Amino acid sequence: MKPLWAPWRIDYILGDKSSGCIFCDKVKESADRDNGILLRGEHAFVMLNAYPYNPAHVMISPYAHVDCLEKVQPLALAEIMALTRLSEMAVREAVRPEGFNMGLNIGRAAGAGIEEHLHLHLLPRWNGDVNFMPAVAGTHVIPEALLQTYDKLLPAFTRLANQS
């Protein structure tokens, strides 16, 4: 059996498991690169998923700590969609996916990992990106470190945000 190296996971394994909300806490800090925050809007923001299914898996979330669409203010809801559109364009430019999955998991029964703070997933997809590893080994291989992905995406996000 060959080892599968994922050295960045040790930070999560050994790190502090605070009881706070990552969407609320990370956006209050100024370390955007370390926290994967790619773009800040007035009512919502875009950040990398720290445990992505594929490289360039981003999440769009309101600043407000809400758990469903019904609680999102109209201006924030409009900005979430505008940032989702911009994210699709930026990810398409930076990593050239062949498709996307987008969605919200509202509530634990729907698969929400962080059910208390609404966030929309934008997941780039490539033909053949699903292989035997998840089925046989329960493992998904991410071929790029998060900070490499961040550095690849940031210029496209910055350029597109400055155009609008």
What's the confidence (pLDDT) of residue 51?
Answer: 82
Domain-located, residue 65 = yes
Domain-located, residue 108 = yes
Radius of gyration (C-alpha) of the chain in whole angstroms = 16
What's the confidence (pLDDT) of residue 144?
Answer: 74
What's the confidence (pLDDT) of residue 143?
Answer: 63
What's the confidence (pLDDT) of residue 136?
Answer: 43
Number of structural domains (the chain) is 1
pTM higher than 0.85 for the full model?
A: no
Q: How far apart are CA 148 and CA 86, in angstroms?
A: 20
What's the confidence (pLDDT) of residue 137?
Answer: 45
H helices present in 96-145, as ranges: 132
Burial of 41 (0-12, 13-18, 19+ CB in 10 A): middle
Q: Which residues are catalytic?
A: 119
Domain-located, residue 7 = no
- Tokens (6 digits) for 139: 């493992």
Domain-located, residue 117 = yes
Residue 142 CA to its chain's centroid (Å): 14
Domain-located, residue 8 = no
Domain-located, residue 25 = yes
Tens digit of each residue's pLDDT, the chain (164 residues): 555 556 656 665 666 656 789 999 999 999 999 999 999 999 999 999 988 878 899 999 999 999 999 999 999 999 999 999 999 999 999 999 999 999 998 988 888 788 899 999 999 998 877 644 444 445 555 667 888 999 999 999 999 999 97
Residue 159's CATH number: 3.30.428.10
Question: Residue 13 is which amino acid?
Answer: I
Q: Which domain holds residue 113?
A: 17-163
